[in-house]
Amino acid sequence: MSLTQSALGALVLLPLLVAAVTAVLPHTPRRTLGVGTALVLPVLLAPVLWSTAVDGDVVDLALGGYEPPLGIRLRADGLSAAFLTLSVVVGTAITAYAAVLPHSTGRRIVSPPTMQPEGPAGPGGGAQPEPAEQAAPADRPGVWRPGHPSFWPLWLACWSGLNAVFLSGDLFNTYVGLELVGMTAVALVALGGRSSWQAALRYLFVAVLGSLLLLIGIGLLVSITGTLDVLQAGAVLADAPEETRPAAVLALCLITVGMCLKVALVPFHTWLIPAHAGAPSAVSPLLSALVIKAPVFVLLRVWLWVVPAGEDLAVLTVVLSVMGAAAVVGGSVLALRQTHLKPLIAYSTVAQVGYWFLFAAMVGGSSSGSPEGLPGVDITEDDVVSSALVGTVAMALGHGLAKAAMFLAAGFLKDLYGTDEMDRLRGVGQHHPGLVMAMGLSAVGLAGLPISLSFSGKWMLTTSAVAAGHYWAVVVIVIGTILSAAYLVRAIAPLLVESEDEGTAVEVPEWQLEHASVLTQLPPLVLGLLTIVAGFGGALLGDLLTVGAPW
């Protein structure tokens, strides 16, 4: 029982403990505890990352001392470590942002005369409280105030759930972790006030349906393997008799459809736009950067570790890669047609999701029978899959960093100016140089231009696609890159260009501009810089992902 193993459990249970405690406390200590957790989690991550990345060991812990198949094993291999790092880095940055700007956490409704707003009244904060009248406060309509203290327990529990999914070595436990993530993510969307409730409810239905499909799939897998442990189930399935194969394929299909719902792959993407665009400023980046990574992680885990590849998956892989390609192109085109900043960024997420599913084509094997490499270079099937995995994970991580920065910046502008309509935000960039720089850097990351992490990812994926003979994937990646550059320029350029018609530009009171201190611009800027800097870690990521890899 080493300290590293204890850290493994603490990565999940510490934020959960703090989440439960903050549910009881008033607002200010909630923020303090939240920031404290954000400071401790990197310390807990460090030994786990050291063991996996430097020593090349898989860290695991049988909870309660009960080994599988009875007990549950936490397991951090290279894939877990990569996603955990994303969760901790982005989570810490957004926690800092929400702590500095409490009004970015949503809008709450209070009775008129009894409660005073805790934060400064921001735009759209509702009517001013009227003096007390004869009627009891309980009988009068409430007023909306900026800032929502429930953000803290919900976000910390969501963080705990994300780490639980990334660390889980058990199929049913993965389902429970996803439930925690889904439940809190829906509630976080609902913090945006009455207008976001419909989107939140729709998200709830989609999330629950996705979970149900996952649960049925896991039930089928247990029925074949007799164990819930990921490694044990994978080992049993690899030697399973032929007649159980249809059930395994059916389970894989159910899990895949469930996770596609949760990750909003085209054509299941319509719930994502109002949910991600309508969520509070501190929540949208969490949803896009982290929450949809949990189902992606589960998919990679089940496809590569549990159900062995085979000829009979050909149809599924083709369908998935076609849906991925449709997402890349369709999402980008729809993003180009948006007039508001946050919906544009939400459609960009839909497009990016598509890239991660091109991976399915490489798992499905090469189109020409055997992988074809350069003359004299021997490329095996495993090389194709491993390089596609590295590419996909690199793109998912790069998207996490860049999208968090982008959504933070867009949400900041929306909170400050009361709108995210791009025509009305013309020229506001001159007041926020740091913010515009953060958006520029994250745009480089999202488009996948050289030296960003997404560029390494696209490069690996392209290499893998060429080796497997899937040239169409290269075409999709190139089209996607061009379109994403176009919609990102469309998003950022107006901020830099002074409005020609003075009448349309938004005015903002001086005191609010003062409030937009340097400190608030720091989290997006740091995330934007990380998007670029992480590009140099592309090779490291490749090494990390070989730790505990199935080949």
Footprint on this chain of another protein (rule: CB under 8 A): 1, 5-6, 9-10, 13, 16-17, 19-21, 23-24, 61-66, 69-72, 108-111, 114-115, 138-142, 148-150, 153-154, 157, 160-161, 164, 172-173, 176-177, 179-180, 183-184, 186-187, 190-191, 197, 216, 219-220, 222-224, 226, 247, 250, 254
Coil vs helix vs strand at 94: helix
Q: At what angle do helices 78-100 and 293-301 cross, to 10 degrees?
A: 170
**Nearer CB in complex with another protein: 47/427:** 47
Least spacing, CB of residue 24 vs another protein, in Å:
5
* Cβ contacts of 476 within 8 Å, gap of 6 or more: 324, 325, 328, 329, 354, 358
- Quote the CA–CA distance of 418 and 401 in Å, as a whole number: 25
Least spacing, CB of residue 444 vs another protein, in Å:
36
**Nearer CB in complex with another protein: 213/292:** 213
**Nearer CB in complex with another protein: 213/477:** 213
Angle of CA points 303, 390, 454, to nearest 5°: 120
Exposed/middle/buried for residue 131 (C-beta within 10 Å: 0-12, 13-18, 19+): exposed
**Nearer CB in complex with another protein: 63/437:** 63
Determine if the peptide bond prior to 69 is cis (ω within 30°).
yes
**Nearer CB in complex with another protein: 6/270:** 6
Of 94, 5, 13, 108, which is closest to residue 57 (Cα–Cα)?
5
Look at the block and give the residue holding tokens 């050291």. 50
**Nearer CB in complex with another protein: 109/505:** 109
Of 313, 472, 464, 318, which is closest to residue 386 (Cα–Cα)?
464
Question: From residue 98, how far is each of 21, 102, 157, 277, 534 by CA, in Å?
Answer: 18, 5, 15, 17, 24
Least spacing, CB of residue 198 vs another protein, in Å:
12
Least spacing, CB of residue 411 vs another protein, in Å:
19
**Nearer CB in complex with another protein: 212/505:** 212
Q: What are phi and psi of 370, to 5 degrees?
A: -115, 150
Least spacing, CB of residue 42 vs another protein, in Å:
19
Least spacing, CB of residue 219 vs another protein, in Å:
4
- Quote the CA–CA distance of 10 and 38 in Å, as a whole number: 13
Exposed/middle/buried for residue 321 (C-beta within 10 Å: 0-12, 13-18, 19+): buried
Least spacing, CB of residue 220 vs another protein, in Å:
5
**Nearer CB in complex with another protein: 227/442:** 227
Least spacing, CB of residue 360 vs another protein, in Å:
23
Provide the terminal-to-terminal Cα distance of the chain, rounded to the nearest Å. Answer: 28
